[in-house]
Amino acid sequence: MLLAVDIGNTQTTAGLFEDGQMRVRWAVTTRAADTPDELHQTLFTQLALSGLELACIDDAVIASVVPALTSTWAQVAERVSGQRPVVVGPGVKSGLPMRYDNPAEVGADRVADAVAAVALYGAPVVVVDLGTATNIEVIDETGSFRGGIIAPGLRSGADSLFKRGALLSQVGLSMPDHVIGTNTADAMRSGIMLGEVARIDGLVQRIFDELGYKAPVIASGGLGRYLMGASTTITAFEPDLTLEGLRIIYQKNRGARRGAKA
């Protein structure tokens, strides 16, 4: 089976693919100081919880925005599979034409999101990835990566509010019933959750205006499901978009030559 690993600033998400289908998925807190032995144990534990063993991993593909962990995860993947993983970056084929000023600046997770969105929905398409940052990726009608937007993430903004507001207690990130909060907790939820929705919808509309046409808007990331119902622009939610993109990139680079059943 193919191990796909998306190393984010806050969470590391991984999945096992077999014959194009995800068999297992899990997410753990990203810790930049983790050693290969610690990650090896984490991988062993997560597989064991699903009744699987390390020997089921034939190959791996990795996307990382945490440089300290890129080589560490690569070591673990090679240890369990017996071969060097595909690490998404310069020189790795994605099949995605780039119109970015410096393509090397585009994070591996952003590339994977765009590749999966085009495969699932065609072009043009817009991706809204809700993680540590809120990334909006624009793939134009030619299927090219046009560029995008990087903004502070929903949870990052909320944490900043909780830390800097001495009289503001932490609240759960759930969608409020009304925009006008009649107590402090609901007022904060409105500002955090509906404020994020308004920001996304406003930015997406500006993207449409600049492109001169509209496109499907795909939300990804754990918080996407909470925003869909309130958004006027988000049309679908794909929680595993990045992992699916990694699977596709693996196939473009190694799938035809290696035995992993991706």
Helices 36-49 and 67-81 pack at an angle, to 10 degrees, of 60
**Catalytic: which of 109, 113, 129, 140?**
109
Which residues are within 8 A (CB) of 90 and not within 5 positions of it... i.e. 6 or more apart?
103, 104
Is 109 in the active site? yes
Provide the CA 188 distance to its chain's centre, in angstroms: 26
CB atoms within 10 A of CB 122: 13
Distances (CA, A) of 82 to 2, 34, 68, 91: 13, 21, 22, 22
Which residues are within 8 A (CB) of 75 and not within 5 positions of it... i.e. 6 or more apart?
36
Which residues are within 8 A (CB) of 149 and not within 5 positions of it... i.e. 6 or more apart?
134, 135, 136, 203, 207
Instruction: Report the catalytic residues.
Output: 109
